[in-house]
Structure 1
Amino acid sequence: MYRRVLLACGLVAVSGAVMAQGYPNKVIKLQVPFAPGGTTDIVARIIADPLGKVLGQSVIVENKAGGGGVVGANETAKSAPDGYSLGVATVSTVAANPAINPKNPYNPLTDFTPIINVAATPNVIAVHPSFPAKDYKSFLEEIKKNPGKYSYSSSGTGGIGHMQTELFKNLTGSFITHIPYRGAGPALNDTVGGQVPMIFDNLPSALPFITSNRLVPIVVAAPQRLSQMPNVPTFKEVGLEPVNRMAFYGIYGPKGLPKEVVDKVNAGVRKVLEDPAVRKRIEDTGSLVVGNTPEQFTAQIKAEYEVYKKVVDSAKLRLD
C-alpha cells in the first residue's frame, strides 16, 4: 500500500514537472479583480502584451469586478494551479479587504502563490472642481464643519481607498459617507461627473483627470511630494502618517503553482520591466517599478496584511 502511495506521489510530481517544462503552451489569463479603467487595469494592460511576447503565448487581461476585489481574487484562488489563470494582486485583495472582512472567502497568506510585485503607486484624495475647498487645510475645515454633508467614492467596500479614508476619518474626527463602486473606473466617472464630490484613488487612474483640471488633488500617500503635484502635501506632512501607505500591483496564482512556472513568469515579468518603454509607461502614471522575487513579494504581502489588520483592530473599523 505504501509503495502504491509513494508511486502515485512520484507520478504527480513528475507530471507537474513535465507540465511546467512545457509551460506555457496556451493562452494565459491575467485576471484584474476590478472594472476597467482603474490603476489595476492600467498596470495589467501595460505588461500583458510584452509579457506574452516574452513567454511565447498571449496574455489576456480579464476583468472580474465585485466586492472590492474579492470576487476576482477568489476566482484566482480557486483556479487550477497550472499557471494559466493568474491574477493581479493588490493591497485591497491581499491586505485591506481580508483585514476588515470577517467573511472573506480566502486566506490571503495561504491561498495564493505570490510571483512578483510589478509596481507601487501613491494614493490621492481628490475633489471635483466644484468642491468649496482646493487645499488640505480648507478641505479638512469644510468636511469637519459639515459632518455627513459630503460623500466619497472608492473602488469598493473593504478596498484600500475605503480603508485609508476610514482611517483618515478616524484620525481627523471627520465624517464623510462612503459610496463604494465595482472598481476605480466607475468611481472616477461619477466623481469627475460631479455625482460624488470626492474620491480616494490610486494616482495612475486619477492623474489624467488631475492634469486636465477635472479633479483637484488635496493630499497624497507617498514617500515625498510628487513632481506631478509639487504643491500637494503627503499625509505624513499633515500629521497622518498611518494613512501614508502606497498601493502595489503584483502577479500571483492559486496555491500550489509549480516552482518552474513561478520562476518562468517571474523571469518573464522582470524581462518586460527591463524595457525602457515599459518602465516609462509605468512611471508616467506616477508609479514606481518594483520587480522583486517571489520570496520578497510573499513577505511583502504578509507585512501589508499585518499592518491593515492592526489598523482595523486599533481604529475599530467595520464594514459599512
Structure 2
Amino acid sequence: MTVLACALGVTGLAQAQSSYPNRPISLLVSAAPGGTTDISARMIAEPLGRALGQSVVVENRPGGAGAIAGQAVARAKPDGYTLLLQYSGFHVITPHITPKLPWDPIKDFKPVANVLSAPQVLVVREGLPFKSLRELVEADKAAPGKLNYASSGVGSLQQVSTELLNQMAGTKLMHIPYNGTGPAMNDLLGGSVDLTITTPPPLLPHIAAGKLRPLVVTGEQRLASLPDVPTAAEAGYPELLVSSWFAMYAPAGTPDEIVDRLSEEIRKIMETDEFRQKAEALGAEARYMDPKALGAYTQEELDRWGKVIKAANITQE
C-alpha cells in the first residue's frame, strides 16, 4: 500500500509538471513600479505569458532592500507559480550588510535566467573641469577627500562601485548617501555633490543637456547611446567592471523541468529584435544566462562585492 501511494504521488507530480502551467503565475518584483527592476519584469512577463499560455502577473513588493519580495518567494511552494524578478544589488549586496536577512541568496533560490544587464556611467557635475577619469583621480589625490559622490543609500551599488574605484585608484572620494536616486540626482544637478555612478536612464537626458559630463562606462563595451564615452578598461581601470543586472529566480526545490522550460522561453523572447531594442532604449542589454550560468554568476558577484564591502567597512549602522 505504501509503495502504491508513493508511486501515485510520483505520478501526480510528473503530471503536474507536464501540464505546467495550468493557472496564472505570480512574478514578484523587489521594487516599486517605474524603476528598472519593474520595467524588466514587465518586459518579460507579457511575452512569457503568451508563450506559456497563462498570464504572468507582476506583483510589486518593495521594501527592506529586497527582503520583502525575497522572503515571500523563498517561502513559496516550489511549483513554478511564484517567481522573483530581483535586482542584483538586493541579491548580492544586501546579504552582506543586512543582519538576520530572512533568506539566503544561494540556498533559498533556484536560478532561472538573467533578463537585463545595465552598466554604470560615472558622471561629474557641470562646472568641474575633468574630461577623463584619470584627471578626476589625479585631482582627488592632490586634495584627498575634497571631492564627494552621491549614492541612493548605504550599501547601494552606487556606493560599492565608487568604493571599488577608491580601492583600485587609491582615491578618497567622500560618500554622501541619499534616500533614493531621485534626491541624489537633484543635488548632483544642483551642484551640492560632485559625481555619481549609476545606470544610464536617469543620466542620459542631463548628459544631452550638458548638465552632467560622462567620464567612463563600467561595462565591457561602449554604450550605443554614449558612443564617445570610453569604457573604464579603455580609461586604464579594467577592474572597474560593474553592471546592475535583473534576474529571475524560483524557490529552491522547484523541479528542473519547470525551471528549464521557463528559462528556454525567456531565451527565445530575449533574442527577438523587439526585446533587444527595448533594452537598448534603457541603456541596458539583453544578456541571457541559463540557470547554470546565472547560478555561477550569482555566487561570483556575491563573493566579489563581499570583499569590496568588507574592505570599505560598509555597514548599515
Q: TM-score, normalised by structure 2?
A: 0.82
User: Between Structure 1 and Structure 2, how many residues are aligned?
Assistant: 314
- Quote the residue 2:179 is aligned against: 181
Identity of aligned residues (%): 36
Shift in alpha-carbon separation, 1:51–1:186, aligned structure 2, 3 A: farther
Partners of 2:163 and 2:312 within 8 A in 1: no
Match of 1:318 in 2: 314
Q: Name structure 2 gaps, 5 residues minimum.
A: none
Distance apart, 1:65 and its partner CA? 2.5
- Partner SS state of residue 22, structure 2: coil
The Cα offsets for residues 248-269 of structure 1, whole Å up to 9 and x where unpaired, read as 2221111111223212211221
Quote the offset at 1:120 in angstroms.
Answer: 2.1
Superposed CA deviations along residues 169-213 of structure 1, whole A, max 9, x for unmatched, are: 34433132242435x566556656777654322234543443454
Conserved in 2, the CA contact under 8 Å of 1:121 and 1:202? yes
- Give the residue type in structure 2 aligned to 1:22: S
Cα offsets for 1:239-288 (capped at 9, x unmatched):
43333222322211111112232122112212212321111111333322
RMSD (Å), alpha carbons: 3.1
Once residues 212 and 294 of structure 2 are traced to their aligned partners in structure 1, the CA distance between those partners, rounded to angstroms, is: 33
Q: SS of 2:239's equivalent?
A: helix
| Equivalent residue for 1:246, pick from 220, 240, 243 | 243
Deviation at 1:130, TM superposition (A): 6.0
Q: Which amino acid aligns with 2:150?
A: Y
C-alpha contact (below 8 Å) 1:166/1:317 kept by paired residues: no
Q: Distance in 2 between matches of 1:188 and 1:55?
A: 40
Per-residue deviation, 1:47: 1.9
Offset of residue 37 of structure 1:
3.3
Distance 1:20 1:14 in 2: 10
Say whether the 8 Å CA contact 2:155–2:314 is kept in structure 1.
no
Kindly report which structure 2 residues correspond to 1:224-239, keeping only aligned pairs within 5 A, or say none: 224-239=221-236
Closer, same or farther: CA 129–278 of 1 in aligned 2, 3 Å: same
In 2, Cα distance between equivalents of 1:188 and 1:37: 16
Asked if residue 83 in structure 1 is aligned to residue 84 in structure 2, the reply is no
Q: Secondary structure at the match of 1:181?
A: coil
Q: Secondary structure at the match of 1:162?
A: helix
Residue aligning to 1:265: 262
- Against the structure 1 CA distance between its residues 15 and 211, is the aligned structure 2 distance closer, same or farther, given a 3 Å change threshold? farther
**TM-score if structure 1 supplies the norm length?**
0.82
Give the equivalent residue in structure 2 for 1:255.
252
Pair 1:123 & 2:120 matched = yes
Partner amino acid, structure 2, of 1:317: N
Amino acid in structure 1 at the alignment position of 2:48:
L
Structure 1 residues 271 and 69: CA distance shift in structure 2, 3 A = same
Q: Deviations over 1:216-237 (max 9, x none)?
A: 3233211133342234333334
Q: Which amino acid aligns with 2:110?
A: T
What does residue 21 of structure 1 align with? 18
1:153 aligns with 2:151: yes
* Pairing of 1:46-125 with structure 2 (within 5 A): 46-125=43-122
Gapped regions of structure 1 (runs ≥ 5): none
